[in-house]
Chain A
Amino acid sequence: MSSSATDTSIGLTKPDGWNRPPVIEPDGEGELLEVAMGPHHPSTHGVFRMDVALDGERVIRLKPVFGYLHRNHEKIAEGLSYLGSMPFTDRLDYICPLTNNWAYALAVEKLTGQEVPERAEYLRVILGELTRFQNHASAIGFLIQEMGASGTPLMYAFREREKILDLFESLTGARMMVNYMRFGGCRVDATPAWLDATRKVVAGLPGFTDEMDRLLSTNEILMARTQGVGILKPELAINAGITGPMLRASGVNYDIRKVDGYGIYNRFNFRVPLGDHWDVYDRYMIRLLEMRESIRILEQALKDIPGGPVMDPKAKIRGFRPKPGEAYGRIEAPKGELGFYLISDGGPNPYRYRIRPPSLINLTVLEDMALGENVADVVLIFGSVDIVLGEVDR
């Protein structure tokens, strides 16, 4: 962790309330202007509101308002069997349905002790990394779009994403609502033709990443708008539970793929990119670098994938009753730590089904990052968090 010992040291030296957003006094003359950004604002990617108080152009206060997409998914899941909730997880973070499936399957496997066959683990890694790649590509596209570059970078990203979604469709039957993973494996096996098609797509990904890099990384406008904007200190990032690319852009070396090594991630050789300026530009750059690492993992997984079943034929996927108890399973989803916490009372339905949504918790520090910045930069800072409202409101 790159931190100076003076004002960022954690623990007892901190005064009380150090992890609260600072109070900024208006210095201009005249009244504060209160603006409701959203719920229908092009930069919020959905229905989300920020109540902003402005002193001129400067942000004095920012309160996020949630709940426009709330459907109480957790309550619905208490009335369904364990398998019955699997299709619902697709609808949480609808950009990355496969990692949602994976996190839920992992939590149930922890609860029941179900083993996953080798080939299914490889398929999960391949699908998970493809998901991460297309999520980061579109997140970058959206971020640039909000800066005013309408179209071009986002359409480049979507062109590549569409190739990956085609792969998902030919394997699972759906582009986004995949409902693919099962407790103890995957629903259907991948054919050799699908694996060849995937290898072909993956072979094209480094070229696309280079293209995005050349197009954007040294772009003068992007650098001017994002460098030094929306700084998030590593200590606050850890304390506020920030995860995923945002945490690593703040220079904290914490990737659950490395820390937990869930699935078979400890077999792959990949690096964890870290930011050193903790700003919006770092968050953009971390995503680009993570795309390159995803390609490395994909190449290794596609080379090593073994034969065999993707599901134990004797495994019970419906109508099972886990022993009373509880389990918390988490994965490194593209947006951060996605966790599922399940309590079983011995019945066929979960007694409690809780989702730990990375998108919601990453918004905790939105106010801290935006205070004192210009209102135009709030859109960028918000875009650099990379959220999906389906997961924020659940």
Chain B
Amino acid sequence: MPGAGAEFVSNPSVSGQHSLRLEPTQAVAIAKFLRDEMQFDFLSNVTGVDWADKTVPEKVKVTRTVAKTVDGVEQPVEETVEETRTRVTPGYLEVVYHLYSVALKQGPLTIRMRTINRVDQVALPSLTPIWRSAEFQEREIFDLYGVVFTGHPDLRRLLMWDAFKDHPMRRDYVEPDDFEYEPTAHDDVLKRAQAQRSRDQGSATPATEDLSLGARAGNRDQLAKAGQ
């Protein structure tokens, strides 16, 4: 193995399919080694996985000063209490590759890579130059999860249309609110319209210039204003 950019990940399931986690900086070199030296010439499956932010409750001992009445006199006393706090472990996006060897009729070898977070550092090296079969599958993951594959020859959305903004397979994806059936937005519909508008503006992906969607968004603003 070139370098030490791979780490063994055990799979507790009965399937016994353990995997290797690759350091993204060395992934292309390791992939090339696997294809050319280990004869894993056939990349079968590429999967995106979204590991969302997790809130873990944990118990913490806290020392604090409280006012207590001791012997009829009120005075500050230190006491230790156990508090339950929630700790947020940051999530990440993961891409899983299943490799087989046609030459040796072996497999599967599972390799995986992680992004740094789910928001802005979502780039991973593309393995399409090594295995062509990743071409459409990485495009699909870019489309549905928002992982940006550097080095991909043709990174466009695969299933959703080009002007679509969000990534539907993410765990926290909210479907667009279909409020436009109301000719004039008011009350609940207005609130939903405004919520949808703030979601559109807060979206991480930059807005795309598209006539049909732009027209719809403009219409939506007008509707919201008319309601106010």
Contact = CB atoms under 8 A, between A and B. Distances in A.
Contact of A16 (B45, B98, B105, B129): B129
A208 interface: no
A328 B13 contact: no
Interface of A: 10-12, 16-17, 19-20, 66-67, 70, 72, 74-75, 110-113, 236, 238-243, 252, 254, 259, 322-328, 330, 337, 339, 341, 343-344, 351-352, 354, 356, 360-361, 363-365, 393-394
The 3 nearest A-B residue pairs measured at CB? A325-B13, A241-B133, A327-B15
Nearest to B41: A238
B23 interface: no
A165 B135 CA distance: 36
Nearest to B15: A327
B159 A361 contact: no
Nearest to B35: A11
Contacts of B129: 16-17, 19
28 contacts: A11-B35, A17-B129, A20-B153, A66-B136, A67-B161, A75-B168, A110-B15, A111-B15, A236-B132, A238-B42, A239-B42, A241-B43, A241-B133, A242-B133, A243-B44, A254-B102, A322-B13, A325-B12, A326-B15, A327-B13, A327-B17, A328-B15, A328-B98, A328-B108, A344-B13, A352-B47, A361-B136, A393-B159
Q: Is the interface of B mostly helix, strand, loop or mixed?
A: loop
Interface in B122-146: 129, 131-137, 144
Chain B interface size, as a band, is: 35 or more
Contacts of B131: 239-241
B14 interface: yes
Nearest to B14: A113
A77 B17 CA distance: 22
B12 A259 contact: no
B44 A339 contact: yes
Contacts of A352: 47, 49
Contacts of B105: 254, 259
A70 B160 contact: yes
B110 interface: yes
B158 interface: yes
B132 A328 contact: no
A328 B47 CA distance: 11
Contacts of B12: 323-325
Contact of B41 (A10, A16, A323, A337): A10
A356 B44 contact: yes
Q: Is the interface of A mostly helix, strand, loop or mixed?
A: mixed
A236 B43 CA distance: 12
Interface in B64-91: none
B45 A326 contact: no
Contacts of A326: 11, 13, 15, 17
Given A352-B49, A364-B135, A241 B42 contact: yes
Nearest to A343: B49
B119 interface: no
Contacts of A394: 159
Given A70-B160, A238-B42, A241-B43, A325 B11 contact: yes
Given A241-B131, A328-B45, A344-B13, 7 more contacts: A19-B132, A20-B153, A75-B169, A111-B14, A240-B132, A242-B133, A339-B45
Interface string B19-42: 000000000000000011000011
B96 interface: yes
Contacts of A356: 44-45, 98
A21 to B, nearest CB: 10
Contacts of A344: 13
A66 to B, nearest CB: 6
A69 B47 CA distance: 20
Contacts of A361: 133, 136-137
Nearest to A256: B100
A239 B101 CA distance: 11
A111 B41 CA distance: 26
A72 B102 contact: no
Nearest to A339: B45
A70 B169 CA distance: 13
